[in-house]
Amino acid sequence: MKRTVMSIFGTRPEANKMCPLVRELESRGEIESIVCVTAQHREMLDQMLAAFDVHPDYDLNIMEKRQTLSTITAKAMTGLEGILQKVRPDIVLVHGDTTTTFASALAAFYNHIAIGHVEAGLRSFDLQSPYPEEANRRLVGALADVHFSPTKNNAANLRRERINAPVFVTGNTAIDALKLTVREDYAFENEALRKLRFDQKKVIAITAHRRENYGAPMENIMSALGRIARAHPEAQLVYPVHLSPYVQETAHRHLDGIENVLLIDPLGVADMHNLMARAFFVMTDSGGLQEEAPALGKPVLVLRRETERPEAVEAGTVRVIGTEEEAIVSEAGILLSGGARYHQMAHAVNPYGDGFACRRIADDLLYYLGERDTPAEDFSAGGA
């Protein structure tokens, strides 16, 4: 009999990293793959589902404008209860560190259903930053029955917490997704991107949305971006703005009307990945971009005080520069000058995956469920 695996996710980054895995699970004869989305995000989730041609079996459609962490948690858990009781999957897979991730894991736990945590073991070691993600992933780490860690470093974090459940090192499925999207002959869907002259301007790809940056840090970031644009006419800032009303308001207030700043709606994932692949460098507070850009050989300035992804910092392609205005303006200026710092940072590194994470996770999952005799060989950056 097939084993029922229910993947539950709700936001753009979870979808980006779970959809390639869903496709892999669907290809396995031993598995009945069910997809349930909370739709903590709506438009940004739907963009990802369309890009990967994934059609959810269940959709809780919980998103509200300016939703709070409590409403997301309560609506997701209440909605999941009946579905989990009806389907009774052999295991639920959750991803990463969002509120959907935590609420889904807790709902599975309350219903005595096993939990597999994909992208397990990332830690910033600061409960307040990223907020609330560090708490979410630690809580799911405590609840999960099996962990799929992208890197050896992530697995070591779990072992230090004396987690007894099995931990597999698989690579990050973000890199699997990247392999499907980036092409040299890619034609952008977004019209403004189609018109950009990547050969004539130093394009900076930008995203920013983190909750712990709401308030003064976000004001600093936007103000710094405006100054960078005005001081560097050779630069073209491209910023697809997250749909959060808070982020929209702040970004437009600071950046509207500046000639070399392009503020656009969130991009389809293929456009986003190909934008990064053609950019001069990337500025972001996003987790996913910190994994994707290094694989594309692009320097990244991280607009946060810490990171749970130290691997690319150690490899030299990512710098964590904080959220102070002066520091952001000065670091971007150094990279724009294209000197030694730029060249030190602009080399492709792949500490997060080799494009085969989904295959490993499916093999390890079948091993965990007793359907295979051996697990996959662990992912090791730079080869086994």
Active site (catalytic) residues: 97, 119, 133, 209, 211, 242
Rounded Cα–Cα distance for residues 119 and 15 (Å): 13
Closer Cβ to ligand UDP, 361 or 366, answer by number:
361
Two tokens, residue 181: 């999207």
Q: Which of residues 243-272 bind ligand UDP (CB under 6 A)?
A: 266-267, 269, 272
Q: Is the peptide bond before 132 cis (omega within 30 degrees of 0)?
A: yes
Positions in 272-291 near ligand UDP (CB under 6 A): 272-273, 286-289
| Binding partner of residue 355 among ligand UD1, ligand UDP, none, CB cut-off 5 to 8 Å per kind | none
Residue 264 found at the interface with ligand UD1 (CB under 6 A):
no
Residues 235-254 close enough to bind ligand UD1 by CB under 6 A: 243-245
In angstroms, rounded to a whole number, what is the distance separating the alpha carbons of residues 192 and 55?
29
Neighbours of 337 (CB within 10 A): 12
d(CA 363, CA 40): 29
Smallest CA-to-CA distance from 64 within 202, 219, 245 is with 245
Residue number with CB closer to ligand UDP (271 or 354): 271
Element (H, E) at 103: helix 99-110
Name the residue nearer to ligand UDP (CB basis): 141 or 288.
288
Q: Which does 117 bind (CB under 5 to 8 A by kind): ligand UDP, ligand UD1, none?
A: none
Q: Shortest gap between Cβ of 248 and ligand UDP (angstroms)? A: 13
Task: Give me the amino acid identity at 110.
Answer: Y
86 SS3 class: helix
Q: Does 129 bind ligand UDP (CB under 6 A)?
A: no
Give, as ranges, the residues between 200 and 229 that touch ligand UDP (CB under 6 A): 207, 209
Q: Figure out which of the listed residues 65, 162, 195, 197 binds ligand UD1, where binding follows CB under 6 A.
A: 65
CA distances from 86 to 16, 81, 110, 206, 310 (A): 27, 9, 14, 43, 41
Residue 267 binding target from ligand UDP, ligand UD1, none, CB below 5 to 8 Å by type: ligand UDP
Which residue matches tokens 């308030």? Answer: 215
**Smaller CB separation from ligand UDP, 12 or 137:** 12
* Contact criterion met (CB below 8 Å) for 234 and 336: yes
Q: In the 8-state DSSP scheme, what is residue 211? A: G
Residue 164 beta carbon to ligand UD1: minimum distance, rounded to whole angstroms? 27
Q: Which does 292 bind (CB under 5 to 8 A by kind): ligand UDP, ligand UD1, none?
A: ligand UDP
Closest contact distance (angstroms) between CB of 72 and ligand UDP is 14
Alpha carbons 331 and 122: distance in angstroms, whole number? 26
- Rounded Cα distance between 172 and 309, Å, is 12
Question: 349, exposed or middle or buried, with CB in 10 Å at 0-12, 13-18, 19+?
Answer: middle
Question: Does 292 sit near ligand UDP (CB under 6 A)?
Answer: yes
Residues 97/137, Cβ–Cβ less than 8 Å: yes
| 1, 29, 53, 66: which one binds ligand UD1 (CB under 6 A) | 66
CA–CA separation, 285 vs 322, rounded Å? 9
Q: Which residues, numbered 12-51, are part of the site for ligand UD1 (CB under 6 A)? A: 12-13, 40-45
The CB-of-268 to ligand UDP minimum distance in angstroms stands at: 6
Q: Which of 5, 8, 10, 13 binds ligand UDP (CB under 6 A)?
A: 13
> Footprint of ligand UDP on this chain (CB under 6 A)?
12-13, 16, 207, 209, 240, 266-267, 269, 272-273, 286-289, 292
> Footprint of ligand UD1 on this chain (CB under 6 A)?
11-13, 40-45, 63-67, 69, 97-99, 132-133, 209, 211, 243-245
